[in-house]
Structure 1
Amino acid sequence: MTNSTDNNEMNARDERNEMMPAISVVMPIYNVEAFVAQAVQSVLDQTFEDFELIIVNDCSPDASVSICRRFHDPRIKIVEHKMNRGLAAARNTGILSARGHYMAFLDSDDFWHPHKLEKHKAHLDANPGVGVSFSRSAFVDPEGNPTRFYQMPRLTGITPDHLFCRNPVGNGSAPVIRKEVFKDICFFADFMGETEIRFFDSDLRRSEDIECWLRIALITDWTIEGIPEPLTYYRLNAGGLSANLYQQLESWETVADRTRRYRPTFVAENYKYAKAYQLRYLSRQAIRLRDGREARNLFIASLKCSLHPLKHELARTLLTGVAAHLLFISPGLYRAIETQASTNIGKFQNRQIQRDIANA
């Protein structure tokens, strides 16, 4: 028999358990046993502690889920997919399971700065019109070591046409989003003879995040806005094939086709110069892969598609073109110049970040 004090303590504990967390963190896992422990630990190390971590096991064949089960924290919940469906579907499962007011996403090969959730919650709390809050990202190598380089996107004034040309959010581990935003963009689709609700388009295996951000910008009044701190650590792949560049281009074309279904005029007005920016971006990716021939070909294709990047971002476009052609003509000379230039670029980016933080 329990006394009244025991009953009161039990009731209080039940009430705390039933309270919704402020933030739901969704982490899909698939073949990430080398990285997932660092990702999970980076969530548990957050200075803001009122969160739940929803790990969605997308039928990972390796030890990823076993590693996740080694963490004993009541805020962790593991959801199992019965079949592998990809990143977008795993995120959708996580959203449907979430109880938080804000939704944060972490790809399990990336990790976060300890102040990530704290900073985003403050940003969203202070700006009720902002639906998507994202941070800059710091690039890390496959072992998780800093590279001194950052993604440096536009942080404010993000319009649909800007999103169509670029992905200022940068990656799927950068944004924290109000749950109401997903209610505004959800749609129904058929899967294996049954109707399911979707937020990310799970028919896409690439660029599903870009499609989602663009849909938010086009069909809702929510603002997408960044904060200057690099709070996401984005892991660069160890390798990569130039063939993947054309798969990325194909996935962007698919996003354009999806968008054309509900905003045909928007796509018609912006398609050519948006594609030119995509080709310029892929040229830079080819440079990173040390493929001078493809870097040059993609840069030339960008100019043929539209001169918009050259007219509106002259310095950035010329630098890409010079680097692509130099890598093609003289790889050794390019590498020598790149070593010195990389140091200067890293320093410049860091100074810009510090100025932006001071002015925020």
Structure 2
Amino acid sequence: MKKVTVIIPAYKVEKYIGSAVASVIAQTYPNWELLIVDDGSPDASVAVCQQFDDPRIKIIRQANRGVSAARNTGIRHAQGEVIAFLDGDDLWLPQKLEKHLAHLESSPSVGVSFSRSAFIDESGEQLGIYQLSKLNAIAPSYILYRNPIGNGSSPVIRREVLEAIRYSDAQRDCYFDEQLHHIEDIECWLRIALQTSWQIEGIPEALTLYRVNSQGASTNEVQQLESLEKVLAKTRTYVPKFIALWERPAKAYQLRFLARRAIREQATSKAIQLVHQAIAIHWRILLEEPRRTLMTLAAAYSLWFLPQSIHKKIENMVLKITGNSQKRRIYQEQSRQLA
């Protein structure tokens, strides 16, 4: 039975990290170690973790250097043959590790196994909607503009995959780019896809619970766009033709993603501006994903034209329809997998 190292970066997550740790302890797969990397957190995050009495849990401390550095520290200390990441404000369902280890065991060419994710709110209640993407035949371009893995709490990775993309920076072994504080995960998955022969493949179940909160790192659209520019510039140094082909689609899909976030925050002008920028930079997004793009455009303008109460009712209705459709899709894919 392979040992799994679970790495949780801890920084200002005192409200949630106890639940995250408990979800690891509840795993049906027993052979794991949990490395909690205190990234110089000023709150009680570490004190919460110290309340757990389990010899498989270790706490590593470092000065604050960001989530990439915290993950790198965890990887350097890991004893497992398989590495899994869990953000301090997210959760796993109990069979998460068991199902990913079975996937990796049955698929020797797969180096990164990921799952679907269900959205939860700040109190941990499921919102009834999911992060869905294609599960196999994942090309580097798809990682760049659609990020099928979805979030940093979803993938379970063979240690040898991470060693294949290791590089040295300031005399430290690095896997995630410590200069990036947003979309650092996409940059890492992209290097795996472009620089190794390992496949990235998903399983249909929603085994990760991804928390939507207003303080999360993914909420600042300016920093997100700046980080994308850094990822494109870095990747251009070793695959310039790839970036020349996919730079504009990547920017367009990121702008549309940020427009949808602005809609949820009811930032009307920002949402309209972002969705128009997306279409202007890569108009083919209208042909590639017409339903999602036109719905984003319509939702942005409905914030402007409709009273807030009516917009909210429409939004709730659309989310309910979307959630039901997503549940059916997950069920159908699980059924096909078992057939």
TM range (shorter): over 0.9
SS in 2 for 1:24: strand
- CA–CA distance in structure 2, aligned partners of residues 205 and 247 of structure 1: 8
Q: Does 1:107 align with 2:87?
A: yes
Q: 1:335 to 1:317 in 2, by over 3 A?
A: same
Aligned counterpart, 1:31: 12
Q: TM-score, normalised by structure 2?
A: 0.96
Q: 1:245 to 1:93 in 2, by over 3 A?
A: same
Deviations 1:4-59 (A, max 9, x none): xxxxxxxxxxxxxxxx9521101110111111110000000000111111111111
Partner residue of 1:306 out of 276, 282, 298: 282
- CA–CA distance in structure 1, aligned partners of residues 316 and 297 of structure 2: 18
Aligned counterpart, 1:166: 146
Q: Does 1:175 align with 2:182?
A: no
- CA–CA distance in structure 2, aligned partners of residues 64 and 117 of structure 1: 24
Count of aligned residue pairs for this structure pair: 336
Rg comparison, structure with higher value: 1
Conserved in 2, the CA contact under 8 Å of 1:242 and 1:289?
A: no
How far the C-alpha of 1:282 sits from its partner, in A, is 1.1
Aligned counterpart, 2:105: 125
Aligned counterpart, 1:55: 36
Q: Does 1:255 align with 2:231?
A: yes
Conserved in 2, the CA contact under 8 Å of 1:291 and 1:328?
A: no
Structure 1 stretch 316-325 or stretch 143-152: which is displaced more? 316-325
SS in 2 for 1:78: strand
Q: Does 1:359 align with 2:339?
A: no
How far the C-alpha of 1:328 sits from its partner, in A, is 2.3
- CA–CA distance in structure 2, aligned partners of residues 55 and 46 of structure 1: 16
Unmatched tracts of structure 2, length 5 or more = none
- CA–CA distance in structure 1, aligned partners of residues 312 and 34 of structure 2: 43
How far the C-alpha of 1:197 sits from its partner, in A, is 1.0
- CA–CA distance in structure 2, aligned partners of residues 161 and 21 of structure 1: 32
Aligned counterpart, 1:4: none
- CA–CA distance in structure 2, aligned partners of residues 128 and 89 of structure 1: 29
- CA–CA distance in structure 1, aligned partners of residues 215 and 265 of structure 2: 8
- CA–CA distance in structure 2, aligned partners of residues 243 and 230 of structure 1: 23
- Counterparts of 1:335-350 in structure 2, within 5 Å, are 335-350=312-327
Aligned counterpart, 2:247: 271
Counterpart residue identity of residue 252, structure 2: A
- CA–CA distance in structure 2, aligned partners of residues 39 and 27 of structure 1: 9
- CA–CA distance in structure 1, aligned partners of residues 250 and 307 of structure 2: 29
Deviations 1:72-107 (A, max 9, x none): 1111111111x1111001100110111111100000
Counterpart residue identity of residue 355, structure 1: Q
Conserved in 1, the CA contact under 8 Å of 2:218 and 2:224?
A: no
Counterpart residue identity of residue 176, structure 1: V
How far the C-alpha of 1:239 sits from its partner, in A, is 6.0
SS in 1 for 2:237: helix
Q: Does 1:222 align with 2:198?
A: yes
- CA–CA distance in structure 2, aligned partners of residues 262 and 304 of structure 1: 28
- CA–CA distance in structure 1, aligned partners of residues 216 and 81 of structure 2: 37
Q: Does 1:184 align with 2:148?
A: no
Q: CA RMSD in A?
A: 1.6
How far the C-alpha of 1:308 sits from its partner, in A, is 2.1
Conserved in 1, the CA contact under 8 Å of 2:133 and 2:148?
A: yes
Counterpart residue identity of residue 322, structure 2: I
Deviations 1:312-344 (A, max 9, x none): 111111111111111122243322211222211
Partner residue of 1:145 out of 122, 125, 141: 125
Structure 1 stretch 259-268 or stretch 45-54: which is displaced more? 259-268
Conserved in 2, the CA contact under 8 Å of 1:240 and 1:289?
A: no
Counterpart residue identity of residue 99, structure 2: K
Counterpart residue identity of residue 311, structure 2: Y
Conserved in 2, the CA contact under 8 Å of 1:200 and 1:212?
A: yes
Q: Does 1:66 align with 2:47?
A: yes
Q: TM-score, normalised by structure 1?
A: 0.90
Conserved in 1, the CA contact under 8 Å of 2:87 and 2:152?
A: yes
SS in 2 for 1:262: coil
Conserved in 2, the CA contact under 8 Å of 1:165 and 1:278?
A: yes
Unmatched tracts of structure 1, length 5 or more = 1-19
- CA–CA distance in structure 1, aligned partners of residues 221 and 50 of structure 2: 36
How far the C-alpha of 1:306 sits from its partner, in A, is 0.9
Partner residue of 2:222 out of 246, 259, 268: 246
Q: Does 1:334 align with 2:311?
A: yes
Conserved in 1, the CA contact under 8 Å of 2:182 and 2:217?
A: no
